[in-house]
Structure 1
């Protein structure tokens, strides 16, 4: 029985790593579209008002895009800890993850959230997301510093659930567009909330059930 559970867990670990690797690669391809600097490619093509009227917008945008890919990777290594054989890297990768979010990724994300597509409700969602991302990461840092490691683990999971919104909102976008073919701006309003709320609710459920 114990052997069967271990085998199931091993399979789950492998599938998780493969799944994350695939979606991480997709995110990396999106990031590489913005190298070298070019304000006339991909997403920025529909943000020309901000690009032309707000010189600082591109700085915040590129900061968010370039740091987020490292946040995803370092967060994945940090959150898996010793269960996945990354015990020796946990502390250092965790520091990178926390530093990038608190200083660069979250503040820049909050700024560009004020100019999100989809109108007022989309903007509110992305600003809340960025603020919660910063707050949960700070709580993870604070609890680790105070050696409250159980709380630290839970706050890291909350933070990483919000980090994963970069992936999940794109997955939801594909599903919604494929099934319902809504107006593009309606899609933004939906995925702005759907991209992160189910993530954080799932993590809270797992924490409540003491699975984390």
Structure 2
């Protein structure tokens, strides 16, 4: 599951580790803003309509935010399992990763996608993202149960590519705002798609080249 093949250059691995560590720290800072359960900070400041008119929205929001940070971490640790030398690490954290996505992070993300900013264009993208995230993770789990580990590994890479959309979405937002200064709603419509489509295309390229 999610093993890094030897034919991927070592430099790329190091850059991946350093890059992920930095952006995970940033995501952790964002998550910490909602501890304790605050409703008037960061992203929730522009979601007050949902906060006040849909009591269930906060439950889905906090579920998504709090579980997604652990999904990021467990997915990353699964990649590094060989270097950590802990017996059965991959299998155990893989179970946590799959459980969190299938039962908590993806379903709550799909619900939030229905109320995404940026109009119908953004809503469609985030709902598709959530559904693909859920399906790719389920498919990986099924293949592991069938002991088809090569196929399992590739589907887990697809799942993780969608997982890190939480990071790449914010990267694209910074780049687009810095370069073009568009209207905020236009930004949402753009990053809603850019956050995950390049990720999955890159993984498909690596799979096609037999690098994963």
Which TM-score band (shorter chain)? over 0.9
Distance 1:173 1:18, change over 3 A: same
Deviation of residue 38 (structure 1)?
Answer: 1.1
Which of structure 1's runs of 4+ aligned residues deviate more than 4 A? none
The within-5 A match list for 1:127-166 is 127-166=127-166
Establish whether residue 67 from structure 1 lines up as the match of residue 62 from structure 2. Answer: no
CA distance in 2, matches of 1:86, 1:168: 30
The answer for the alignment partner of 1:3 in structure 2 is: none
Distance 1:72 1:17, change over 3 A: same
The within-5 A match list for 1:48-197 is 48-82=48-82, 84-85=83-84, 88=87, 89-197=89-197
Query: How many positions carry a matched residue from both structures?
Result: 205
The answer for the alignment partner of 1:205 in structure 2 is: 205
CA distance in 2, matches of 1:66, 1:108: 11
| Per-residue Cα deviation, 1:49-81 (whole angstroms, up to 9, x for no partner) | 000000000000000000000000000111344
SS of equivalent to 1:36: coil
The answer for the alignment partner of 1:19 in structure 2 is: 19
Structure with more of its chain in helix, by fraction: 1
CA distance in 2, matches of 1:100, 1:162: 14
Deviation of residue 15 (structure 1)?
Answer: 2.5
Unmatched segments (≥5 aa) in structure 1: 1-5
Establish whether residue 33 from structure 1 lines up as the match of residue 11 from structure 2. Answer: no
TM-score by length of 2: 0.93
Higher relative contact order (CA 8 A, sep 6+): 2
CA distance in 2, matches of 1:127, 1:42: 22
CA distance in 2, matches of 1:95, 1:70: 12
Distance 1:208 1:129, change over 3 A: same
CA distance in 2, matches of 1:17, 1:44: 30
CA distance in 2, matches of 1:51, 1:33: 17
TM-score by length of 1: 0.93
CA distance in 2, matches of 1:186, 1:34: 26
Unmatched segments (≥5 aa) in structure 2: 1-5
CA-atom RMSD in angstroms: 1.4
Deviation of residue 87 (structure 1)?
Answer: 6.2
Task: Out of 187-196 and 202-211, give the one that drifted further.
Answer: 202-211
Distance 1:146 1:64, change over 3 A: same
CA distance in 2, matches of 1:165, 1:146: 28
CA distance in 1, matches of 2:165, 2:23: 12
